[in-house]
Each structure stands twice: as structure tokens, then as C-alpha cells.
Structure 1
Amino acid sequence: MTQAPVTEAKSASGDGARVRPRLILASASPRRQELLVQIGFAPDAIHPTDIDESERPGETPRALALRLAVSKLAAADHPGCYVLASDTVVGVGRRILPKTETEAEARACLALMSGRNHRVFTGVAVRAPDGREAHRVAETRVALKRLHPDEIDEYIASGEWQGKAGGYAIQGRAGAFIENLIGSYTGVVGLPVYETRLLLTGLGYRP
């Protein structure tokens, strides 16, 4: 993998004389980038990683979310930079739901979650320029309303489910299907901002 050049970015505070290591987001998700920008931690560069995301026999949704985040971080080779990686996994009990690629997958996920609780686990992994790492998993319990078949059909037709963990995007039309949630809303979107800020600042990052 080609290494990104080590450069520094000017601080947004003070007179701009202080420089800081770059923050690299190892994800192609526009939602994660938007959430970082919202909390004042705009990444300096986006460099997605490509790893095998297959689950292992007996692996729980929580364990998978953490392992994938840590593996993506390990695959992101950017010396001298802060690097952030993340992955979201949806589970019903111990069953791991896919990041849906077909209408059949999305329909099956929505039917399974209809009228019941499911959990969303988002793993976050951060590495500092000196090599120190920190990891966390945010867990959110989500209650989905009982969906009428017509509602599922309409949602499938929207195409919003494509590539989404569990087959839905809470920040889109599916937000109207959520009766309640306990945990991190932004974790369900794709990046738990509270936990992410703690990890970055704990390793010395300052925007």
C-alpha cells in the first residue's frame, strides 16, 4: 500500500502558527466525514481501506464491529498522522445482519427487525502519530415499528438501503420507522461522536 506523505495542518485556533499532525479518516462513508465536521474534527484527508469483512464462526455483533474497526486501522498506513477507522454492525440477538447489497437481503432484514428491538454496534479505532491506539464500541438499542408490507415495498423502491448495515439508514426515510432508541444516535448513523471525541482527545489530538 502506498504511504501517504507526512504533512501537518495549521491549527484553526490562535494565530495559525501552530501546526498539528493530519487527521486521516480511513473510511469512504460521507456520513462519517460529515459527523466529524459537525463536531469540529474535520479530517484532513480521506483514505479508505479494503479488508475482508467476513464474520468468523461464533463471532458476536459487538466483537465483529470492534475487530473490523481495528483491522481497518491496521491497514491504514499513514506514518506521523492521526488515523481514525470505524465499522458498524447490526445484530438481532447473536445474529449478524449484512450490509445489504440486494433487494432480497434488505427485505429480509426489514422483515426480521419489524416490530422488535435490534442492536447497532459501531466500533471506533484511533491511532496517534506515536503509534498509541485506543478503541471503543458504541452500542445502541433500536426499536423498529411493526412495518406494513407496503412500507417495506416503498422503502425498498427508494434504494436507500443499498450498502447499509441492517438494510436501513436512520438519517433517511427509515427514521420514521424508529419508535425509540437507547444509546448513540450518531453511532447508528455511522460514527458515535461522543466516543470518537474521547478517543481522539485522549490520544492528544486537538483540531
Structure 2
Amino acid sequence: MTLYLASQSPRRRELLAQLGVAFDILDVEVAEIPQPGEPPIDYVRRVAHDKARAGRQALETATQADAIVIASDTEVVLDGDIFGKPKDAGDAQAMLRRLSGRTHEVISAVWLMSAARERGEVCVSRVRFASLSEPIISAYVAGGEPFGKAGGYAIQGKGASLVEHLEGSYSGVMGLPLFETAHLLASFGVAV
């Protein structure tokens, strides 16, 4: 049995490696567009599921029927709005302004899929940002860290200095909730 991580995220690779499991990487392309009226938690769960399914489909053609695919999606949500990744510096600054001095949710879903079964779990964390001045926002964005990150910040990097309080899963905010991931892996017979 081979485990595949359907993600190109270096953070997810690092996090999964912390569990001490051997895995290979799959590059999958999945549309990450919320459906009209779709609640954020359902959207994140669906995208993680879609990534796992895309990974399984890629493996079926390569006769890897005994493989397990793990996939994840993480989104920052404030006032019901899914932030996604900033498109440019102006978008990153706008996100950080909205997050400033407020508590937002970070929803992270993880999904495992084999030929015979599938199962997923969702982790919701609450992150409170300190009040951010314009110079702090500008400097953080100019450093480049917000790009490619949901909500425009990286809690594992300099973005940690923006976080006043975290309630929930640090690894979930990074992109792969390790408690839920370990639980799912064990249920599929993968020793962690």
C-alpha cells in the first residue's frame, strides 16, 4: 500500500512528514471555486474531496489500485467570505486590513480515498489578529510572504507576529490538521 499526497504545497509535505509516514506526491488540478450559496465549510470539504478523487483517478490509469490518496484544503473565512489566496499586493493588503483586530475562522478539511473507501474530517480554528497599522501591513506584504497563502498570511512564518490568539489547530491553520490526519490514516491501517 502506497500513500500519495495530492498537493504541491511544501507546508503540507512538511506536516505530513512529521507523522513519520512514507508518501509520494501527486500533482492534481482542481477548480477551487465556491458554488453559489455554498457554505464555506461545505466548500472546503468539497475541494479536499475533489483533490482526493482527482488523485485516485490519476492513479487508476497508472494501475495503482491499492494506493491511498490524501488531500486537503484550507481557507480563511471572515463574515462568511472565503478569502482564498491574494491575487496581488493590493489584494493581500485588503485582506490583512479586514483581518486586522478581528477573529476569523480557518477551515481545513482532509480527505483520504482508496479504491474501496473514502473518509474525511474538518477542523475549524479561530484566529484573532492584532490591530495592524498600515506600515505593518505594507511591510508584511512587501516581504512577499502573503502570496500563495489563504487569507494572505503564513502563521508558520513572520505572519505569526500578526496573530494575537489561536484557538484550535496550529497545523490546521498551516494547511494540514495533524490530529485529524493521524486519526484518518490510522482508520485506513496506516501506522503513524
Residue 4 of structure 1 is matched in structure 2 by none
Given residue 40 of structure 1, which amino acid in structure 2 is its aligned partner? Answer: G
1:174-189 aligned within 5 A: 174-189=159-174
Query: In the alignment, does 2:110 pair up with 1:124?
Result: yes
Once the two structures are TM-superposed, the CA of residue 98 in structure 1 deviates from its matched residue by 2.1
Inter-partner Cα distance in structure 2 for 1:63 and 1:168: 23
Compared with structure 1, are the counterparts of its residues 37 and 153 closer, same or farther at alpha carbon in structure 2 (3 Å cutoff)? same
**Partners of 2:90 and 2:40 in 1: CA distance:** 21
Across the aligned residues of Structure 1 and Structure 2, the Cα RMSD in angstroms comes to 1.1
Which of the two has greater helix per residue?
A: 2
Aligned AA for 1:35?
A: L
Q: TM-score, normalising length from structure 2?
A: 0.93
Aligned length, in residue pairs: 185
Distance of 1:68 and 1:114 partners within structure 2: 27
Deviation at residue 64 of structure 1 after TM alignment: 1.1
The aligned runs of 1:13-162 (5 Å cut-off) are: 21-43=1-23, 45-76=24-55, 77=57, 78=59, 79-128=65-114, 130-162=115-147
92-101 or 192-201, larger mean C-alpha shift: 92-101
Distance 1:67 1:24 in 2: 19
The secondary structure found in structure 2 opposite 1:147 is coil
Q: What residue identity is the alignment partner of 2:16?
A: L
The 4+ residue runs of structure 1 with deviation greater than 3 A are none
Report sequence identity in percent.
42
TM-score (ref. length: structure 1): 0.87
Q: CA separation in 2, counterparts of 1:59 and 1:132? A: 25
Per-residue deviation, residues 52-95 of structure 1 (Å, max 9, x unmatched): 11111112221111000001111112221011000111100211
CA distance in 2, matches of 1:35, 1:148: 32
Secondary structure in 1 matching 2:150? coil
> Is contact 1:64–1:89 with CA below 8 Å preserved after alignment?
no
Q: Point out where structure 1 has 5 or more consecutive residues left out of the alignment.
A: 1-20
2:26 partner letter: H
| Stretch deviating more after TM superposition (144-153 or 34-43) | 34-43
